[in-house]
């Protein structure tokens, strides 16, 4: 799965969350499981990129590219964490606000 796929899944999760009360319990559970998987994948990518940075043989442009990719995954992970939190604890009136 690439970053584009990850972004697409995140958007789908956010759209489901926006449906609020129309989201069935089954859909909520599936979305929560998918979000947990996505967070795990992002964490793994972040750690893997960190291990590449620990390799002293990379040059400065490579390091910048790796740090950029790492920041993208951190952002995506954080956004998916928001989805998870909102699914677990929907705010009264608007489950998208968590």
Read off the pLDDT of residues 7-43 as tens digits, 9 standing for 90 and up: 999 999 999 989 888 888 899 999 999 999 999 999 9
Classify residue 45: in a domain, yes or no: yes
In this model, does residue 98 exceed pLDDT 80? Answer: no
- Asked if the structure places residue 54 within a domain, the reply is yes
Q: Residue 94 falls within a domain, yes or no?
A: no
Host domain of residue 34: 3-88
Q: What's the pLDDT tens digit per position in 35-65?
A: 999 999 999 999 999 999 888 788 889 999 9
44 belongs to a structural domain = yes
Q: Which two tokens stand for residue 21?
A: 């009360």
| pLDDT confidence tier of residue 97, bands split at 50, 70 and 90 | very low
Indicate whether 26 belongs to any domain: yes
CATH classification of the domain holding 44: 1.20.58
Instruction: Give the three-state DSSP class for 84.
Output: helix
| C-beta neighbour count of 73 within 10 angstroms | 20
Total domains in the chain come to: 1
């Amino acid at each position: 799965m690439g970053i584009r796929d990850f972004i697409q899944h995140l958007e789908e999760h956010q759209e489901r969350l926006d449906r609020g009360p129309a989201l069935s319990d089954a859909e909520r559970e599936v979305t929560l499981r998918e979000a947990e998987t996505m967070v795990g994948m992002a964490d793994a990518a972040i750690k893997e990129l960190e291990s590449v940075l620990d390799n002293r043989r990379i040059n400065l442009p490579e390091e910048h590219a790796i740090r950029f990719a790492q920041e993208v995954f951190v952002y995506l992970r954080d956004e998916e964490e928001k989805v998870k939190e909102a699914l677990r604890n929907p705010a009264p009136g608007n489950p998208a606000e968590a």
